[in-house]
Chain A
Amino acid sequence: MATHLEKLSTPGRKDIPVEAGEEFGILDRVLRFLGLAGAIIPTAAVLFIAAVLLVSALPSILFNGLGFLYHQSWNFGNFYSSATVTHNGIQAPTGASYGALPIIIGTLLTSIIAFVIGVPIAVGSALILVEKVPPPLRRTLSFFLELLAGIPSVVYGLWGLIVLGPFLAGHIYPILARLGAIIPWLGPPVGSGLGLLTAGLILAVMIIPIVASTTRDLLSQVPVLPREGAVALGLTSWESVRLVSLPWVFSGIVGASILGWGRALGETMAVLIVSGNGANFLPQNIYSPVSTIAATIVALLDSAESDPTGLAVSALAEAGLILMLITLATNILARLMVRRVSSTSLPIGRGV
């Protein structure tokens, strides 16, 4: 490394005029400015989307009040009757009432299942891929990870509906249901394989590539020296992974997991197909039909657009807003939880 830097600073090479400090001062500032612009864009986009959602959601917020958060029925009302009701100055079709509790719960539960199952599998498979699998096979298997990221969510959904759901309902869930004696919400009825657990599992399959591919890359970058040190101390390979590699890449895994969590919260089509759609009741057990905010939006946006009062689209916008708040809140929570395990003690990153 030292030799390379020496080469860089060798005077007389015209493409690296190190002594021309000012020129680089400008370059630094340009890079800094462009970087800032790039870094701001996602935040600006998210604020813009939130603003659009907030404006569209206002009628629904006024009409439904806090009940939106704890009521259990999602009812557009009758678009075909000319009669309307008015509440807080907002006009709505007769019978309209919106309660998002089941889809809020469904969103959280499916994502938690996906996270709890998906992240350990992703990290574990990345570990074995980097540490134990011989390189030629590793390359092939790594291919699969990225391939999984690009399979359309519709295809995941169809696979869940036709293959995974019936398989689980036929072979796995009945066995799992026997644990119902110990853990009540694992008990029967197991249903048809469309529901909470299946949706969570499909989401797990979908977030694995995001977490695993990042983890794999980070692990393969852990410097050789400290790991050799660990081996020299007589640690087993698992211990060297636990004590050296994992702490080294921890913050990167957290970041990737948060993105995976976000994807699970926001996934639409696949969940829509395998969730069994229980938008009007809370799940009774882990096999029960559920629905999520994102799936409800994609399923009902079409109907909502024909609400002459516009309240239906507004209610979906409010649901979307709540989803954004959930994402934000869980991200903050994750940050607070991992703050203690900071990576700054490691000789990586920007330094102090």
Chain B
Amino acid sequence: MTILFVVQRYGLDIAGGAELHCRLVAEHLAKFYPVEIATTCANDYLTWKNVYAPGTEVVNGIKVHRFAVTRQRPSDFDILAHNVLYGYPTAEQQIQYLDAHGPFCPSLIEYLKKNSQFDRYVLFSYRYWTTWHALHCVGKNAVLVPTAELDRTLHLDIYKKAFHKPMAIAYNSIEERRNINQISNNFLVPGLTVGVGLPETKTPLSDHENYDALNIPDKYFIYIGRIEEAKGCCNLITDYLAYHQNTNNPLALVLMGKQHISLPNHPGIFYLGIQPDHVKMSLLSQAEALIMPSKYESLSMVLLEAWKSSRPVVCNAHCDVLTGQCKRSGGGLYYRNTEEFIEALVLISSRPDLGVMLGQQGLAYYRKHYDWSVIIDKYHCLLEGSGDNV
């Protein structure tokens, strides 16, 4: 069985969750099947500017076919998106939104139409132009990995219909599956709640000098990911400042990731920028807890990384996926407002025994559900067209 993955961006330097998810699954499935990738030449999900050369290259032993994006995202996309997502858009306006959202890459779809040698397709992230068109082109042989957050895009009719197209769906969480099933009414499409495992990390930070050079305190909470408003980071800063002001001996907040918003110059906040994986995992394993303020997540790989490191998490309770994961695993607390945020942080920092127990529960959950053998077995089922229909 030959498999072609279709994804909006692909490469070792692509930091996005869904893209990493795709690469990890492709690399693991490549041990069992011939696997190839069809993707764009873009590496920026906002502009879709062509950065990689079109053509075929090999990434970590997998053949990657790249196609140029022919239309970059328009400057007035936000206005168009607002009108479509918050109004009553016609089908034509929704297609116009999809075209503007991108990555607009007709040559990739032409490639799918002309190359029928693939037995199965794995399509990543429902909201992208490439995925939507691939679903309409090769849907009956495709496994869709929606990576869908519960936002307004999910309610657009063009997407609701698209969820009926694939032969099977690999959901990231029980909540994602429930949301998609209820909104699109695609109960008859076979599916499994799969998720994703984590990459093998290199040796944890052994060079102590490196750690010292980061110049952060011994005890801290950590946030890892894109530092932007959409990920809830503005609220995280506000909540943290309230925690700092209202607590005796508050711990520091370490932020790691690409910065898209301005950060206050505050003695408790430490921004480390983008760090290599082994530094990230090392700092995560030494943190009091990982904080995840995002309201829109379909899985959150960094949550799994925290549990793999036996660390507890503190999540935004407004995200049903994160709350569900915390409740099922027993690996973290979830806050609805600033007061609960403060109490959760005080509780974890003042009771290290609780942090250890939550972390252990998280680790057990991770091993049970996100070990690669479990994930790949589920993909075998889906690729053979089976899943548990609701």
**A and B, one complex?**
no
| Residue positions of B touching A, CB distance < 8 A | none
